[in-house]
Amino acid sequence: MTQKTLTSADIFDKARTWNNPKKMKIARDMLERYTGCDAKEFNKHIILTNFEYYMDRFSKRFNAPLKSGSVMRVANSKQLGVSIIDFKIGSPTAALVIEMLSAINPDAVLMLGMCGGLHRDLKIGDFVLPMAAIRDEGTSIHFMPPQVPALPTFKIQKFISQIIIEKGLKYQAGVIHTTDYRFWEFDEAFKKTLRQEKVTAIEMECATLFVTAFACKVPCGALLLVSDMPLHRIKTKKSANKVFREYTDTHLEIGVQAMTEIDERGDKVRHFEW
């Protein structure tokens, strides 16, 4: 069956459903059920991750108890005014977590994820600040037509950039490729396409997060950590654990600082009205 391409009229019809009070009630209920956390406990600044390690480090460092629901885990720090959610992996859950969060109107959402570095100047442990994402996944089409670019909230990205520079660290900004194809490393035709695109990195959620957040009017940015260079060597359990030990604390530190200080130091985040 051929998938229908959304028209402008379809988008405006969908926009009305996203603001539907009945849907918001169900989304709020689902957020509580999937995370095991009352919606009132969530802070307005939220970090998203795919990894339990980030959850454990956040929980211990900021004395924020972990809660588990039927799908996801969450920790809320009232001291910081920041919550962190492990939404697992992949584009469907990326869209789902944004739709659920739209029911509580967060001020800012930041994805702290990992990516495979593709640019020749990158190395493991480097930071990538996505400026756009190629929509090579099957989820974002339900929210915006294919010609709509997947862009993060610029003012969040700008503030993250500022923090990284203040810490004396470096990052590379660029276009990333979001895919739902996990074992692409063994597909020569796919790798040839990546080289032709000249993208900076590859991962599995950002395009969906950006498009869904734009549709739902949720301010959303991302900061990625290069965990491997998959065109040269595929990540293993051993190499992944090394990345966690050596680099992720700094990654989390940048994310927490961004979410705690963006209201006071960052530009005001504004969305256009539909």
**Cβ–Cβ under 8 Å, residues 71 and 78:** no
Q: Quick one: CA torsion of 12, 15, 19, 25, rounded to 10 degrees?
A: 130
For the chain, list the domains and their CATH numbers. Answer: 8-262 (3.40.50.1580)
> Confidence band (pLDDT; 50, 70, 90) for 23?
very high
> Confidence band (pLDDT; 50, 70, 90) for 11?
low
- How high is the pLDDT of residue 232? 94
**Cβ–Cβ under 8 Å, residues 195 and 80:** no
- How high is the pLDDT of residue 20? 86
| CA-angle at 24, arms to 21 and 26, nearest 5° | 115
Using the predicted structure, report yes or no on whether residue 76 has a pLDDT greater than 80. Answer: yes
Q: Which helix (H) or strand (E) holds 112?
A: strand 108-117
**Cβ–Cβ under 8 Å, residues 180 and 138:** yes
Q: Give 227-266 pLDDT, tens digit per residue.
A: 999 999 999 999 999 999 999 999 999 999 999 999 988 7
Q: Give 103-115 pLDDT, tens digit per residue.
A: 999 999 999 999 9
Using the predicted structure, report yes or no on whether residue 199 has a pLDDT greater than 70. Answer: yes
How many CB atoms sit inside 10 A of residue 59's CB? 19
Output the average pLDDT for the chain. 92
Query: Which of 226, 271, 253 shows the shortest CA–CA distance to 108?
Result: 271
d(CA 74, CA 42): 9
Q: What is the DSSP letter of 97?
A: H
| Structure tokens, 139 | 């989820």
